[in-house]
């Protein structure tokens, strides 16, 4: 009998949780993300809306640690590392930020969510679409090689599109994939 009460309590708790999740998804709060304006691009994976809310783009990892081959490091007579001369070429990271600023700042976007709406740092996670032409921004960033793919379960709603975009950048050696 004791187990019957535990199971009943569990089922009721689960049912109430399901109703609350469904209410969240259908609530007017989600409709506010159907047309929002991007105030600023903070970095290649994060934007700030005019409402002040920050959105972290799902599926993107800005850069990966690239190990320098120790044979390529040059040292002077005193043992100090000699840095190579500065390159006049604009780094990929800077190109990416400029590209994203031109594309998003002041523009109307739609934000879609996945299973997990917040990450461990309580940042809002989302997929961003330009309203003007329905461009999937997360995939476009990957397609241009401005970030690396980072899939984190349970957020896999657009997994195939993101993987395809990342593979295209790798095949075409675009951006960070070309380095």
Residue range 106-150, pLDDT digits in tens: 999 999 999 999 999 999 999 999 999 999 999 999 999 999 999
Rounded to two decimals, the pTM is 0.71
Cα dihedral sign, 84-85-89-91: positive
| Fold category of 36-178 in CATH | OB fold (Dihydrolipoamide Acetyltransferase, E2P) (2.40.50)
The pLDDT tens digits of the residues spanning 29-68 come to 568 899 999 999 999 999 999 999 999 999 999 765 344 4
Average pLDDT score over residue span 70-85:
66
Q: Taking all residues of the chain, what is their mean pLDDT, rounded to a whole number? A: 83
**Residue 34 to residue 11: CA distance in whole angstroms:** 34
């Amino acid at each position: 009998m004791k187990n019957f009460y535990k199971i009943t309590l569990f089922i009721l708790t689960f049912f109430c949780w399901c109703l609350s999740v469904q209410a969240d998804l259908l609530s007017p709060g989600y409709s506010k993300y159907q047309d929002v304006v991007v105030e600023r691009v903070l970095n290649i994976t994060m934007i700030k809306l005019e409402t002040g809310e920050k959105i972290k783009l799902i599926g993107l990892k800005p850069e990966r640690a690239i190990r320098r081959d120790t044979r390529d490091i040059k040292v002077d007579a005193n043992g100090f590392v000699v840095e190579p001369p500065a390159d006049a070429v604009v780094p990929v990271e800077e190109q990416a930020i400029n590209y994203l600023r031109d594309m998003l700042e002041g523009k109307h976007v739609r934000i879609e969510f996945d299973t997990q709406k917040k990450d461990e740092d309580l940042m809002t996670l989302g997929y961003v679409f330009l309203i003007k032409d329905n461009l999937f921004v997360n995939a476009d960033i990957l397609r241009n090689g401005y970030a690396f793919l980072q899939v984190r379960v349970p957020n896999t709603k657009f997994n195939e599109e993101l993987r395809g975009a990342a593979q295209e950048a790798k095949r075409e050696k675009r951006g960070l994939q070309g380095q």
